[in-house]
């Protein structure tokens, strides 16, 4: 039992798996102009490749998780099967002859990805002791953080050298490798146990949990309202050369990693405060970017600042959910679905703002609006908590005066 406090290799493998899944989700943002040219569609339609992938995650993940749990399929076996489905859909996307086929393949990728991420988090929690759970979860989430640093820039570079299909095949091959490694390395005995469906549904009857879900959806929605269109914004609005986009995306990703590290250290003890300050920075970064005009260094400074928040707030988002409910497969999958529902809405709303004629920077303002909603969802509970604490103090003082 003493060894359970150590972080096993399989936790890092789960982080690599999430890296592959999230790279498959985000890669469209790095190759958007190439996809628009290849299928002769608008940037808004290419943005829908992100939105519908996220919609598949949001709507398909929880029902799939319920089916797996009610069918008595263990966590490891379910993860291997769903990863195989993801590999098949990724291969279909890479070979897609039309925009419609590509869109359908990405919806299937989203459905599989949502349940996979929830299962990765649940399996991770079962591999370590409770006192090591937070550290292990942060390692798994590092896969998500590293996707913008390495995954998205890699797909952008491969696209410039060999075309967008080659980028898609990179994701499919990496996912296939992860499928084989999970099947071989993840122990069944520790990870296949899970509570009955009835108990997992019972844990959802929790107002604090749904409040945490709402904040998470707003944060990721705000982030991807902007990030989904970041390549054309950088090229056409800021004047960045196409070949310089990949290094800038890497800098953004490095900001994610640094922000994730800082947030990970603060999340358990200062959950609400970390989320609140992170959302304030997100509002300032996106608002400054939207107003930067022709000032290139201000544009790029706000873009880098944007990297330190948004996705980097994931450890605090997960910490809030874990405090509200035990992180079973259904709780984690639903959290992923709510997050990606926000992502889908943000990406869709950003594209609609462009199509409505508000300009390429309009998705940044959509992001500001969603971040403000997220900040309000943090401030209101804090205000209610402070109010209760003040009333308790006043009651104690008045009781002391009476005595």
Q: What is the DSSP string of 50-97?
A: HHHHHHHHHHHHHHHHHHHHHTT--HHHHHHHHHHHHHHHHHHHHT-S
d(CA 362, CA 366): 7
Write the burial class of residue 216 (CB in 10 Å: 0-12 exposed, 13-18 middle, 19+ buried). Answer: buried
Which residue has better confidence, 368 or 43? 368
DSSP 98: S
**Dihedral angle computed from the Cα positions of residues 67, 73, 76 and 78, in that order, rounded to the nearest 10 degrees:** -40
Whether the pLDDT of residue 254 is over 90: the answer is no
**In this predicted structure, what is the pLDDT of residue 278?**
95
**φ/ψ of residue 268, rounded to 5:** -65, -40
Instruction: Indicate left, alpha or beta for 151 from its phi (over 0: left) and psi (-120 to 50: alpha).
Output: alpha
**In this predicted structure, what is the pLDDT of residue 166?**
93
**In this predicted structure, what is the pLDDT of residue 144?**
77
Domain ranges in the chain?
2-391
d(CA 22, CA 138): 15
Rg (CA), the chain: 21
Q: What count of Cα atoms within 13 Å lies in the side-chain half-sphere of residue 178?
A: 30
Which residue has better confidence, 373 or 129? 373
Whether the pLDDT of residue 50 is over 90: the answer is no
Task: Dig out the tokens for 295 from the structure.
Answer: 């000032």
**In this predicted structure, what is the pLDDT of residue 6?**
73
d(CA 353, CA 367): 11
Alpha helix (H) residue ranges in 147-206 = 152-162, 164-185, 188-191, 197-202
The single residue listed with the structure tokens 């190759």 is 31
**φ/ψ of residue 8, rounded to 5:** -75, 165
d(CA 128, CA 248): 36
Q: Is-contact 290 368, C-beta < 8 A?
A: yes
d(CA 262, CA 244): 28
**In this predicted structure, what is the pLDDT of residue 401?**
57
**Dihedral angle computed from the Cα positions of residues 320, 325, 327 and 332, in that order, rounded to the nearest 10 degrees:** -70
pTM (whole model) above 0.85: no
Residues 136-173: tens digit of each pLDDT? 777 887 787 777 678 878 888 898 889 899 999 999 99
Q: Is-contact 14 325, C-beta < 8 A?
A: no
d(CA 399, CA 59): 52
SS3 content of the chain, % helix, strand, coil (to 5): 85, 0, 15
Q: Is-contact 150 256, C-beta < 8 A?
A: no
DSSP reduced 3-state for 40: coil
Which residue has better confidence, 257 or 91? 91
d(CA 152, CA 253): 9
The single residue listed with the structure tokens 């990870």 is 191
Q: Is-contact 375 215, C-beta < 8 A?
A: no
d(CA 79, CA 66): 14
Task: Dig out the tokens for 194 from the structure.
Answer: 């899970």
Residues 104-134: tens digit of each pLDDT? 999 999 889 888 888 888 888 778 776 666 6
Which residue has better confidence, 250 or 304? 304
**In this predicted structure, what is the pLDDT of residue 1?**
39
Q: How far apart are the first and last CA of the chain?
A: 52
Residue range 273-299: average pLDDT?
94
CATH fourth-level superfamily of 2-391: MFS general substrate transporter like domains (1.20.1250.20)
| pLDDT above 70 coverage of the chain, percent | 89
Q: pLDDT band for position 4 (50/70/90)?
A: very low
Number of residues that this document lists for the chain: 403
Whether the pLDDT of residue 327 is over 80: the answer is no
């Amino acid at each position: 039992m003493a060894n359970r406090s150590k972080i096993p290799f399989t936790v890092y493998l789960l982080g690599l798996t999430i890296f592959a899944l999230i790279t498959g989700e985000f890669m469209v943002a790095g190759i958007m102009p190439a996809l628009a040219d290849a299928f002769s569609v608008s940037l808004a339609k290419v943005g829908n490749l992100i939105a519908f992938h996220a919609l598949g995650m949001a709507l398909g993940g929880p029902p799939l998780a319920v089916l797996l749990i009610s069918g008595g399929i263990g966590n490891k076996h379910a993860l291997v099967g769903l990863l195989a489905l993801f590999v098949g859909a990724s291969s279909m996307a890479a070979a897609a002859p039309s925009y419609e086929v590509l869109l359908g393949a990405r919806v299937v990728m989203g459905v599989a990805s949502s349940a996979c991420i929830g299962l990765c988090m649940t399996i991770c929690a079962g591999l370590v002791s409770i006192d090591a759970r937070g550290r292990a979860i942060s390692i798994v989430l590092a896969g998500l953080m590293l996707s913008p640093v390495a995954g998205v820039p890699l797909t952008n570079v491969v696209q410039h050298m060999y075309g967008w299909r080659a980028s898609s095949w990179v994701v499919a091959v990496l996912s296939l490798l992860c499928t084989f490694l999970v099947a071989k390395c993840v122990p069944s005995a520790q990870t296949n146990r899970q509570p009955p469906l009835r108990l997992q549904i019972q844990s959802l009857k929790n107002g604090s949990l749904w409040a945490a879900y709402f904040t998470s959806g707003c944060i990721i929605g705000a982030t991807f309202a902007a990030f989904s269109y970041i390549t054309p914004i950088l090229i056409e609005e800021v004047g960045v050369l196409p070949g310089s986009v990949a290094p800038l995306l890497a800098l953004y990703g490095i900001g994610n990693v640094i922000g994730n590290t800082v947030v990970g250290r603060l999340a358990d003890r200062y959950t609400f405060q970390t989320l609140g300050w992170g959302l304030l920075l997100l509002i300032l970064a996106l608002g400054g970017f939207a107003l930067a005009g022709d000032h290139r260094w201000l544009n790029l400074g706000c873009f880098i600042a944007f990297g330190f928040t948004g996705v980097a707030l994931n450890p605090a988002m997960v910490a809030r959910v874990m405090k509200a409910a035990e992180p079973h497969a259904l709780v984690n999958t639903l959290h992923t679905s709510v997050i990606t529902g926000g992502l889908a809405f943000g990406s869709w709303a950003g594209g609609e703002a462009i199509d409505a004629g508000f300009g390429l920077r309009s998705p940044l303002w959509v992001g500001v609006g969603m971040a403000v909603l997220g900040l309000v969802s943090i401030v209101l509970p804090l205000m209610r908590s402070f109010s209760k604490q003040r009333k308790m103090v006043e009651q104690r003082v008045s009781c002391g005066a009476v005595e």
